[in-house]
Structures are given as structure tokens and as C-alpha cells.
């Protein structure tokens, strides 16, 4: 019995010593957390979106055009006179709205130079009544239209390059390129006809764009980013000189210009002028591609 007690006491001493020794051993450290780098935002990628804004007339076509004709003209009978007046009052101002698609490429993610190309198409309702006129005296004319070529516009679009600099999620850029448009509203007075001349020209401007986080509540299409932009654009569409100085077609089908016999241009221009306007608009883009 005494031998058994001595053995148990020895085993207990060894166990206590082992526990004390284990307590002195260094503890196993937890593995370090895995480092996940935060993606650096880049503007590289395709995008598509919508915009809306307001257009402002930038032309000098608001001076009334007044034309007098007498018996020497083929527009009135001998011994009679008449006058035609275009107020030119309704300018190219109004709502602008449409959509755009484009592609950006950023040379260095984060901050750096960004180049791109963008195409847009816009609905407008500019100056539809600019060519209404009033006439006094009998006129022998099939058509009467404004010799200054003042027009309205139903739509326009552009295809432009973009060059800017990104400060992370903020992009400041300039833009310029080809522009086109069509429309005109009421152009020929007596027969109430409208002209739908297709015009081409150029556009230039600039803007600022900001990219929201990917999980923005505006990201309905689960794109890589949603961007908001404010942009200003000047558009110049060349109407050419197709009707330079011509303001009427008489009943014999002959064109009558402001330099024809019996015609006096009291005020206004005889040159067909460009369609010029400026647009300020806000836009929303959905970017697809790299984060």
C-alpha cells in the first residue's frame, strides 16, 4: 500500500511539473489577416446614358427682315406695292433631351489623362415659328420664305472626341467634333409648307463628371459605376447659301431675290446664316468595364 501511494504521488508530481513546463512554452500565434487591396478606380470602359438640359440661341438672326416690292417686280401688279415682314422673333431657345454612348480610356488608374469618344442624339424644339411673316398688299407668289435662312430645329446630334484629366472619381474634360441637325418648322409662308433641311457643322465644349460608388442606389443595371455629369456645348450648323437672297417664287415659278427689279430690302440680312446655339445639360451614365 505504501508503495502504491509513493507511485501515485510521483505521478502527480510529474503531471504538475509537466503543466508548469507547458505553461512556459510560447503560445501559437493566429495567422495574420489576408490583405485584400482596394480596387483603384479607372474611367476605362464603355458607357451609355441619358441627358436633359436647355438650349440658348447664340445667333444674331433676331433683327426683323422687311422687304418692299413695287410694280416693277413680278410679285405685284403694275402700279401696286406690297411689303413682307419677318419678325425673326422666336429664337433657338428651348428644352433639350436625349441619350449618349461612348468609350473612355485612362492611361493610369487613379489619377491621369483620359481620352475618349462620344456620340449623342438630342430632341429639341427650337424656333418653330421663326419664319412666320405678315404681308400688306396683293402678292403673286407661290412661296415666300425668309432670305436670311432663319430656321428652327427638331433634332441634332454630335460625334465628338473627349480629352480630360481624372482626379480619381472626378473627371474634367474638353470635347469637340462633328455635329448634325435637321428641322425648320414653318419656312414657306403662303402655302404653309415646312422645310426639313439636313445641316452639318461642328460642336465644342467641356464638362465635369463624377463617378458614384458601384453600390449606388442609382445603379439599376448593376454596372461597374454610375457617373453624373454637367456639360456645356456650343453647336454651329452650316445652312450654306442655297437660298442666298431669294425670298419668293412667283406664280410663274421664277425665283425672286432681294436684288431683283422692284424689290427693296428695308431691313435684315440677305445672307443665309448658320444655326447657332449653346446647350447646358446634366447627364447620367452607366459605365461597363473595369472598376
Domain boundaries, the chain: 43-60+94-129+149-247+270-288
52 vs 3, residue with greater confidence: 52
- Compute the average pLDDT of residues 255-263: 87
| CATH numeric code, 43-60+94-129+149-247+270-288 | 2.40.160.20
pLDDT at 128: 64
147 vs 249, residue with greater confidence: 249
127 vs 74, residue with greater confidence: 74
| pTM of the full structure | 0.74
**Phi, psi of 22, deg, nearest 5:** -65, -35
Could you tell me which residues are beta bridge partners of residue 236? Answer: 202, 276
pLDDT at 21: 46
169 vs 23, residue with greater confidence: 169
pLDDT at 3: 56
115 vs 213, residue with greater confidence: 115
Other beta carbons within 10 angstroms of residue 209's beta carbon come to 24
- Compute the average pLDDT of residues 279-283: 97
Question: Scanning the structure block, which residue is given the C-alpha cell 432670305?
Answer: 147
193 pLDDT above the threshold of 80: no
Lowest mean pLDDT among 46-55, 198-207, 260-269: 260-269
Query: Alpha carbon of 241 to those of 148, 237, 255, 258: distances in Å?
Result: 10, 13, 15, 14
Could you tell me the pLDDT band of residue 291, with boundaries at 50, 70 and 90?
A: low
- Compute the average pLDDT of residues 13-34: 56
Could you tell me the pLDDT band of residue 183, with boundaries at 50, 70 and 90?
A: confident
Cβ pair 161, 174 in contact under 8 A = no
**Phi, psi of 144, deg, nearest 5:** -135, 130
Q: Give the length of the chain.
A: 291
71 pLDDT above the threshold of 80: yes
186 pLDDT above the threshold of 50: no
Q: Mind listing the pLDDT tens digit for each residue in 125-182?
A: 776 666 677 888 888 887 787 777 666 788 999 999 999 999 999 999 999 999 999 8
Q: Mind listing the pLDDT tens digit for each residue in 27-69?
A: 666 666 665 566 788 999 999 999 999 998 887 666 788 889 9
Query: Alpha carbon of 37 to those of 34, 40, 168, 170, 290: distances in Å?
Result: 10, 9, 16, 21, 15
22 pLDDT above the threshold of 60: no
pLDDT at 258: 83
CA separation for the pair 221, 155 (Å, rounded): 28
Question: Scanning the structure block, which residue is given the C-alpha cell 505504501?
Answer: 2
Cα of 226 vs its chain's centroid, Å = 17
pLDDT at 168: 92
CA separation for the pair 89, 233 (Å, rounded): 23
DSSP string, 139-199: --EEEE--TT----EEEEEEEEEEEEEEETTEEEEEEEEEEEEE--SEEETTTTEE---EE
pLDDT at 188: 42
pLDDT at 281: 97
pLDDT at 45: 92
Q: Which residues contact 256 (CB under 8 A, 6 or more apart)?
A: 73, 74, 75, 141, 246, 247, 248, 249, 250, 263
pLDDT at 143: 79
Amino acid at each position: 500500500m505504501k508503495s502504491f501511494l509513493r507511485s501515485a504521488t510521483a505521478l502527480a508530481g510529474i503531471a504538475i511539473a509537466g503543466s508548469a513546463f507547458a505553461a512556459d512554452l510560447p503560445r501559437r500565434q493566429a495567422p495574420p489577416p489576408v490583405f485584400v487591396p482596394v480596387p483603384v478606380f479607372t474611367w476605362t470602359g464603355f458607357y451609355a446614358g441619358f441627358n436633359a438640359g436647355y438650349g440658348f440661341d447664340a445667333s444674331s438672326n433676331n433683327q426683323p427682315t422687311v422687304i418692299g416690292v413695287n410694280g416693277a417686280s413680278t410679285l405685284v401688279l403694275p402700279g401696286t406695292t406690297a411689303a413682307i415682314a419677318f419678325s425673326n422673333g422666336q429664337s433657338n431657345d428651348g428644352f433639350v433631351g436625349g441619350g449618349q454612348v461612348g468609350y473612355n480610356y485612362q492611361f493610369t488608374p487613379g489619377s491621369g489623362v483620359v481620352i475618349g469618344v462620344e456620340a449623342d442624339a438630342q430632341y429639341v424644339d427650337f424656333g418653330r415659328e421663326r419664319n412666320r411673316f405678315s404681308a400688306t398688299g396683293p402678292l403673286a407668289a407661290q412661296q415666300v420664305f425668309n432670305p436670311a435662312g432663319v430656321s428652327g430645329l427638331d433634332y441634332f446630334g454630335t460625334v465628338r472626341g473627349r480629352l480630360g484629366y481624372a482626379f480619381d472619381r472626378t473627371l474634367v474634360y474638353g470635347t469637340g467634333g462633328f455635329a448634325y441637325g435637321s428641322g425648320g418648322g414653318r419656312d414657306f409662308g403662303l402655302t404653309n409648307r415646312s422645310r426639313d433641311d439636313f445641316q452639318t457643322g461642328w460642336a465644342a465644349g467641356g464638362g465635369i463628371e463624377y463617378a458614384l460608388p458601384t453600390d449606388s442606389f442609382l445603379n439599376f443595371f448593376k454596372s461597374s459605376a454610375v457617373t453624373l455629369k454637367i456639360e456645356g456645348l456650343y453647336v454651329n450648323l452650316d445652312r450654306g447659301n442655297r437660298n442666298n437672297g431669294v425670298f419668293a417664287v412667283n406664280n410663274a415659278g421664277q425665283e425672286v431675290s432681294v436684288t431683283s427689279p422692284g424689290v427693296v430690302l428695308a431691313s435684315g440680312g440677305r445672307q443665309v446664316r448658320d444655326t447657332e446655339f449653346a446647350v447646358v445639360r446634366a447627364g447620367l451614365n452607366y459605365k461597363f468595364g473595369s472598376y
